[in-house]
Amino acid sequence: MAQKLLLIDTDCGIDDAQAIMLALSQPQVKVLGITCCFGNTTVDHVCHNVVRVLSVCGRNEIPVFRGLAGPLVGAFNTLKDHFGSDGLGDVLDAKDPVGWEERVQKEHAVAAMVRLVSENPGQVSLVALGPLTNLAIAIRLDPTFPQKLKDLFIMGGNMEGKGNVSVCGEFNFVMDPESAYVVLEEYTCPTHIATWEFTCRNKLSWDFFEKLVAQEHNAARFMKTITSKCWAFSREFGVNKRDVLFGQGFVPYDAYAVAACIDPSVVTESVECAVRVEVQGTMGRGMMALDHTNVLKKTHKVLVMKTCDLTKFGELLMASLRLP
């Protein structure tokens, strides 16, 4: 089987860590590099977190690149109450692993992204797990960049106008609506989107989560640690947006996009249509609109994931925490 080449762009919080480990667990997948951006926490924390994940998995050979520290327009205002101020639950030693800064490459993430894809034209799948700022800058640096990609998988946006950080907006897109707009207008490569509603509608049980983190492997112990004091992984949430709309359950948001990239059969139904990100207004800013009736007259259409094979997805997740 030919190797699948992946480039992962991340704002590494707990769900990103799970998604990265999923990619690392698959023998047919080669992760060329991990590019970092702001989002769940600051870009420096993100770099640190990615190095932590790679260290736990024994994959220190994978290069890590620091990218954008804020959105194209406006200031970066992090939400510190979801995955903690460091993005990984505020339970890890701030110095662990010692010398992590030296593992971050000098080359900027956007330059590395363009270089790695240009070195492997038509072969690289780009998986975007955070705000799309690095991707927006990449196409400004090299307008042919999207044409060199094999495909693009995004976790972000919404398909029904249901928001998790605003009335109508999903976190990753709301953090940088202009970048999301640029990417979904100008990246004309095959594009697959795992929206917030999709992930929540395809949730797993908390019993599954308990079995997942109870495995006797370093990756599972790491995941159990970083979720141990994080309210987002507590059965005592209280009433929150996701529970009201979709019911309770374990939702490893970013892992859906990585799973779909690795094994397309995980996604059992998608909607193919043009999309556009709203950049105006207050309630709608950052919302992704689906053009079901071709009002926009766009030639490029994306695949918006709708349903998921939870058995296959669960098996991939279980394998992801058997590292090393």
pLDDT mean over 113-140: 98
Give the integer Cα–Cα distance in Å for 15 and 275. Answer: 25
8 Å CB contact between 47 and 9: no
Across-strand partners of 66?
36
* Averaged confidence pLDDT in the chain: 94
pLDDT confidence of residue 79 = 64
What b/e readout covers 268-293, taking b as 16+ CB neighbours within 10 angstroms?
eebbebbbbbbbeeeebbbbbbbeee
3-state SS track over 247-296: CCCECCHHHHHHHHHHCHHHEEEEEEEEEEECCCCCCCCCCEEEECCCCC
Which tens digit of pLDDT belongs to each residue from 8-39? 999 999 999 999 999 999 999 999 999 999 99
8 Å CB contact between 202 and 308: yes
pLDDT mean over 70-84: 82
Token pair of 185 as six digits: 């207008």
pLDDT above 70 for 242: no
pLDDT confidence of residue 217 = 96
pLDDT mean over 154-166: 93
Give the integer Cα–Cα distance in Å for 32 and 19. Answer: 15
User: What is the pTM assigned to this prediction?
Assistant: 0.96
pLDDT confidence of residue 231 = 77
pLDDT mean over 84-96: 92
CATH number at residue 28: 3.90.245.10
Token pair of 299 as six digits: 């030639």
pLDDT above 50 for 229: yes
- Percent of the chain at pLDDT above 90? 85
Which tens digit of pLDDT belongs to each residue from 172-198? 999 999 999 999 999 999 999 999 999
What value, to the nearest 5°, has the Cα angle with vertex 212 and ends 210 and 214?
65
What value, to the nearest 5°, has the Cα angle with vertex 63 and ends 60 and 67?
135
pLDDT confidence of residue 239 = 47
pLDDT mean over 76-90: 83
pLDDT confidence of residue 241 = 54
What b/e readout covers 178-191, taking b as 16+ CB neighbours within 10 angstroms?
bbbbbbbeebebeb
DSSP per-residue letters across 87-151: SSTT-S-TTPSTTGGGGEESS-HHHHHHHHHHHSTTTEEEEE-S-SHHHHHHHHH-TTHHHH-SE
pLDDT confidence of residue 238 = 43
Q: Which residue range is the domain that position 234 belongs to?
A: 4-320
E strand or H helix at 227 = helix 218-227
Report the domain count for the chain: 1
Write the burial class of residue 224 (CB in 10 Å: 0-12 exposed, 13-18 middle, 19+ buried): middle
**Hey, is 30 helix, strand or coil?**
strand
Q: Which residues contact 56 (CB under 8 A, 6 or more apart)?
A: 218, 219, 222, 323
Give the integer Cα–Cα distance in Å for 9 and 109. Answer: 9
pLDDT above 90 for 234: no
- With CA atoms as reference, report the closest residue to 152 among 36, 269, 8: 8
Give the integer Cα–Cα distance in Å for 256 and 175. Answer: 20
Token pair of 302 as six digits: 């994306």
pLDDT mean over 260-278: 98
Give the integer Cα–Cα distance in Å for 324 and 219. Answer: 7
- Percent of the chain at pLDDT above 70? 95
